[in-house]
Chains A and B, each alone.
Chain A
Amino acid sequence: MPPRPQRFVSDKKIDMKSLKRLMSYVLRRYGMRFVVVFICICLSSVSTVIVNNFMAKLIDTVIIPGLDTGFDAIRDKLYQIIFNMLIFDILGLAAAVIYPQIMAVVGQGTIKSLRDDMFENMETLPIRYFDRHAHGEIMSTYTNDVGTIRMLVGQTIPQALSSLLSIAVILFSMVNYSIWLTVFVLLVAYLMFVITKKFGGKSTKYMAAQQKSIAEEEGFIEEMMEGLKVVKVFTHEEEARKDFDRVNEQLFRDSETANATANSLMPILANVGNIMYVVLAIVGGLLVVMKIPNLSLKGVSTISIGVIISFLSLSRQLSHTISQVSQQVSAIAMALAGSDRVFALIDEKPEEDEGYVMLVNAYKDENGELHEADHHTGLWAWKHYHAQSDHSTTYVELKGDIQMVDVDFAYEPDKQVLFDVSLYAHPGQKIAFVGATGAGKTTITNLINRFYDIPDGKIRYDGINVNKIKKPDLRRSLGMVLQDVNLFTGTVMDNIRYGKLDATDEECINAAKLANAHDFIMRLPEGYDTMLTGNGQQLSQGQRQLLSIARAAVADPPVMILDEATSSIDTRTEALVQRGMDNLMEGRTVFVIAHRLSTVRNSDAIMVLDHGHIVERGTHEQLLEQKGIYYQLYTGAFELE
């Protein structure tokens, strides 16, 4: 058995490399659009601030003089200011309409490319990768991690850009009005920053505690729901309640703290902003009343009420923007951790394939010599191009002759699982593997189709070193019926056709008949058009097994690897499956991992495996005579599974 997947451990360190790479991902595809977005963001933030400046002007240059001169005198000036505000508002609005529309395309496009790249690379990864990573973990990269990146590209980056710009513009305008007041505002802003950071840190800690409790609770619930019937049979409800209450209380405590902290941040920031606003008003008021000279970029003058009003509005905007930035920072950190995992999947090294021998359609001429054909002939040949020697091409007929010589193998360096395994299967022979769980039966078959690689020359297929054969071509020549059946969402017909994509309906139905699956399929509500979902959960274990046999049958490969189902199916279905398998085996080289001794009996050779060694080999009769392990298994003295 391959090693069990390890639990996913995330390292918290965030480096900017991912951000850079992510940005280059975006810019490479949507460079021009991103420039437009950037311009729009600038326009929209600048226009907001400028319009605010006009407000101050409105009071200082229109309303206050107007109080003395009357409305008519300042009418033109009023119109002019309103008109200017209108212009900038329209500009800002236009920008605000345009850039989210573009960002929708950019953000979703980037996500799609990332997803496609992840999936494309995932399909090329060696089986080892899937052994080492929990399925849930891989799934979470597609869902959670990609989700955080979507937020980052689609929302956070534009928002952060706009926030930073706003802060810059606001500060500039402030300095333009009054340096004293600006210094004061900056002090308060710093205070807000400190509070955010402190709260943010605390909140992260509580969030982590909450996350842990959630995981624990979900684990408990999952286990209990799976075992609900056992709970009932053992009338274990009372204990289950007690255990649950303990876990539930812990989750409540942790999430209460986490939520309280998260909820508090908003009122705190808002009111620090309020307090800043108030103190600013007092200080400003003092400046006005005491006529303290104001220092600004425009020089020294006295402070006006208009200036104070504008300043107040600016300070409100500033505190608002800062609280936004505090949220954006944590979103960026989360997304970067996510993109690390996304890129790790994209960068994972694909399965190596140095093979160059290809499987081609062939025909024989009058002299019995093989030639490549450009159409399906029913005859297959290995096309062997000798690049290193004389650049000639030879053709070897595909027969299904398999030889293993002194094969050692370890999934992990220090845990060898196969020792000196040698075997020979002539075309059309049936080889059975028998042995306890973990003896190495599945491992041997995994090496034949090169799910795992071993050094050169140990396994030969029709006399050719399998490492020289292109993996796809090698696997096409081998049919697999695995113990754990995996079906795909789609109709029954789709699932059978998986074995040969261009198979006609008739071919599929014939394959189903061969596999003994036709009868039960016809009894399904919509026959071959019945939709299967969730790995064919609406079918029984035996029926799923039959479908997987049909799927292999339609592919019609010369060599078959069959892993028998261990789960208990009743004698009648078992007989059906058995007959299906027997039909499939006819005329092929077959490796069968046997869990039922009835399968083994008529094999050409039986290999008894024990802890990675072939301890006995021979025909059924020969092995019985030896009175060894096989004999004991056969008489029921040993557990097979």
Chain B
Amino acid sequence: MFKILAGRIGEYKKATILTPLFMVGEVAMEVIIPTVMAVLIDHMGTESLADIVRYGLLLLGLAFVSLFCGMKSARYGATASTGFAKNLRRDLFYKTLDFSFEDVDEFSSSSLVTRLTNDVSQLQMAFQMLIRMAVRTPLMLVFSVLMSFRINHRMSLIFLMIIPFMGTFLWLIFHISHPIFRRIFKRYDALNNSVQENVAGIRVVKSFVREDYEIQKFKKTSEEVRNDFVHAEKVMALNNPFNMLCIKTTILLVCYFAAKIIINTHSTELTTGQLSSLISYGVQILTAMMMMSMVFIQVTFSTEAASRISEVLDHSSRLVSPENGITEVKDGSIVFDHVFFKYGEHSRNYALSDINLDIRSGQTIGIIGATGSSKTSLIQLISRLYDVTEGSVKVSGHDVREYDLKSLRDQVAVVLQKNVLFSGTIKDNLRWGNKDASDEEIKRVCRLAQADEFIEQFPDKYDTMLSQGGTNVSGGQKQRLCIARALLKKPKIIILDDSTSAVDTKTDALIRQAFKKEIPDTTKIIIAQRVNSIEESDQIIVLDNGKIVEHGTHDELMKLKGIYYEVYDSQTRRKGDDL
């Protein structure tokens, strides 16, 4: 896991190395300063002004070196950690762009968003901690112990005795509070979830007059959250006084023994100046211990984020573009040869079983079937959004797996059922189909998709801004824009996955007419709920539970008196006889 993450340091290696180096400088200065200080104080007793000034200047110099190192370390630290985050985010984003549909399903969009945002920024913080605080505190500890040892090794023993006590206690507190905090995070999530549900479902709450019920429910959760937090905080709050206890005990012991030593040895073994240095070191040692425990806790918390991120980076997609794949799709013919398909290796049921189809270039194919009958699964195999489990899908005579992925998908346009428009102008969105398309071309495809008329009615026409998700156009308008966008690719095959469900029947018919007239050579595959959307197709396929149960033209299927007949009957019967 850490190897994966370390790989993202990239061009910020220099900053990553320099940060702790300058930190070493800063810490060294901070440690040396009290020693020189001790010398200075001792010189005061000798009343030699020159010495005081000399040591004073030395000290000033040290302080400036410390400042310089500190600033450098701060800046390099910022560069290294934000640079690391930048690379990590980029690699994650690039990786998800290479994901197949299967991978996207597996991770889900919202979890990918969390990984790219929250998890990355958590790691950024942890990374900065690692190259700064995790270097600083142990160094501080070691240096301070060394220096105090140099001054007087007997006195430094006092510090060494206290350290294990403190370490044990910190470890204990961490161990007790960690599970409490984990539980708290869950409870706290439940609390926020409750608010979220009430905000989103306020109409339900109000129409069932459940305000008091919801308030009682909320208060119960918030009571639990409070109790947990109080418990955890009380445990954590013991940390600080315990540290104080250690520091104060140390100082008292140092004071007593130092006084004794100084007097008994007549300042030969220890001086008053050294006494004050010793105390500074003592405080530094114990503060370092405290900081180390904090760093440890923070880094531990971030390991979960790290594992979530490396899960994505580590993920190897099974659906990849072949090397030297075919780049040209000659025509729009499609063959399904004994195709079996299931989502994921481990799923028990086949989504598609034994599908055989022979579609000639330019034909129109209609597909109909209930939800869960795998209509979408079928068409997604054509542009290789998923790979078949068994059998093969051929486009223009070649197995889809032989094509260069980008070329294949450029030639096989799919208008997805759950389609998305992006924030930007209408024109920007349409140009997804072909970024070099001229205004005339854009207008032409919009006419084909029956979108030109309503676009022209907008005040800004083709420059109208769409909000995120395209919420400022109606469902039917959105669908027509999505069709136009796909047409702009000039594909050999166009697939409409229930893409005209919100479009009225008349416009729907106009779109089909335009398709027939304007793009006769393009193979058209249409999935629909409405029978009249597919009634005139060259081949109609009825899917049920992943199998082709009926296959033929409208007339042939009507004669079968099977599912198609039933659906056709139920959908047309509702029109009155008087029409």
Contact = CB atoms under 8 A, between A and B. Distances in A.
Interface string A289-324: 110000000000000010011001100000000000
B195 interface: yes
B93 A571 contact: no
Given A101-B234, A101-B237, A451-B206, A252 B256 contact: no
Contacts of A478: 207
A566 interface: yes
A55 B70 CA distance: 31
A535 interface: yes
Contacts of B81: 259
A522 interface: no
Given A62-B259, A89-B252, A245-B90, A489 B197 contact: yes
Contacts of A184: none
A282 B53 contact: yes
A270 B73 CA distance: 14
Contacts of A636: 504-506
Given A67-B267, A274-B66, A639 B410 contact: no
Given A223-B422, A486-B197, A449 B52 contact: no
Interface stretch (B241-249, B353-361, B457-465): B241-249
B209 interface: yes
Given A235-B409, A236-B432, A248 B90 contact: yes
Given A234-B489, A480-B203, A486-B201, A571 B196 contact: no
Nearest to A264: B74
B70 A267 contact: yes
Contact of B197 (A221, A288, A488): A488
A104 B233 contact: yes
Contact of B63 (A63, A86, A120, A278): A278
A108 B104 contact: no
A591 B92 CA distance: 50
Given A93-B245, A123-B211, A638-B504, A256 B83 contact: yes
B60 A275 contact: yes
A333 interface: no
Contacts of B193: 489
A624 interface: yes
Contacts of A130: 199, 202
B161 interface: no
A73 to B, nearest CB: 9
B468 interface: yes
Chain A CB within 10 A, most for which of B26, B70, B507: B70
Contact of B223 (A112, A255, A262, A312): A112
Given A234-B433, A267-B74, A489-B197, A278 B474 contact: no
Interface in A112-164: 112, 115-116, 119-120, 122-124, 127, 130, 135, 138-139, 142-143, 154
A226 B485 CA distance: 18
A449 B203 CA distance: 10
Given A55-B255, A451-B203, A641 B112 contact: no
A472 B43 CA distance: 85
B165 interface: no
Interface string B55-81: 010011001101101110111011101
A43 to B, nearest CB: 13
B448 interface: no
Contact of B41 (A258, A274, A309, A480): A309
B230 interface: yes
Interface string B445-489: 000000000000000000000001100001110000000010001
Nearest to B61: A278
Given A111-B226, A639-B474, A97 B206 contact: no
Contacts of B206: 127, 449, 451, 475
B213 interface: yes
A571 B369 CA distance: 9
Contacts of B240: 96, 100
Interface stretch (B291-299, B342-350, B413-421): B413-421
A233 B117 contact: no
B255 A58 contact: yes
Contacts of A569: 371
Interface in A474-511: 475-476, 478-480, 482, 486-489, 498-499, 501
Nearest to B242: A97
A139 B276 CA distance: 53
A63 B259 contact: yes
B560 interface: no
B94 to A, nearest CB: 6
B85 interface: yes
B198 interface: yes
A6 interface: no
A532 to B, nearest CB: 11
B256 A568 contact: no
Contacts of B435: 239
B522 to A, nearest CB: 16
A232 B205 contact: no
A132 to B, nearest CB: 12
B215 A119 contact: yes
Contacts of A122: 198-199
B324 interface: no
B576 A624 contact: yes
Interface in B403-447: 405-406, 409-410, 413-414, 416-420, 422-423, 432-433, 435
A120 B194 CA distance: 13
Contacts of A62: 259
B59 A267 contact: no
B2 interface: no
A82 B255 contact: yes
B44 A240 contact: no
Interface in B101-119: 101, 104, 109-110, 112-113, 116-117
Contacts of A225: 96, 109-110, 112-113, 116
A556 to B, nearest CB: 12
Chain A CB within 10 A, most for which of B44, B475, B578: B44
A66 interface: yes
A313 B230 CA distance: 36
Nearest to B125: A259
Interface string A251-271: 110011111101110111011
B85 A255 contact: yes
B529 interface: yes
Contacts of B44: 284-285, 288-289, 305, 308
A286 interface: yes
Interface in B551-579: 567, 570-571, 574-576, 578-579
Contacts of A277: 33, 37
A71 interface: yes
B47 A228 contact: no
Contact of A263 (B78, B104, B226, B252): B78
A185 B358 CA distance: 91
7 contacts: A223-B422, A229-B416, A232-B97, A282-B52, A286-B49, A501-B210, A571-B567
Given A248-B90, A305-B272, A309-B272, 19 more contacts: A55-B279, A82-B252, A85-B252, A108-B226, A109-B230, A119-B219, A123-B205, A232-B104, A241-B94, A245-B90, A259-B77, A263-B73, A263-B75, A264-B71, A286-B49, A289-B44, A313-B279, A480-B204, A486-B204
Q: What are the nearest 7 A-B pairs in CB distance?
A: A267-B70, A636-B505, A486-B201, A100-B237, A263-B74, A259-B78, A282-B56
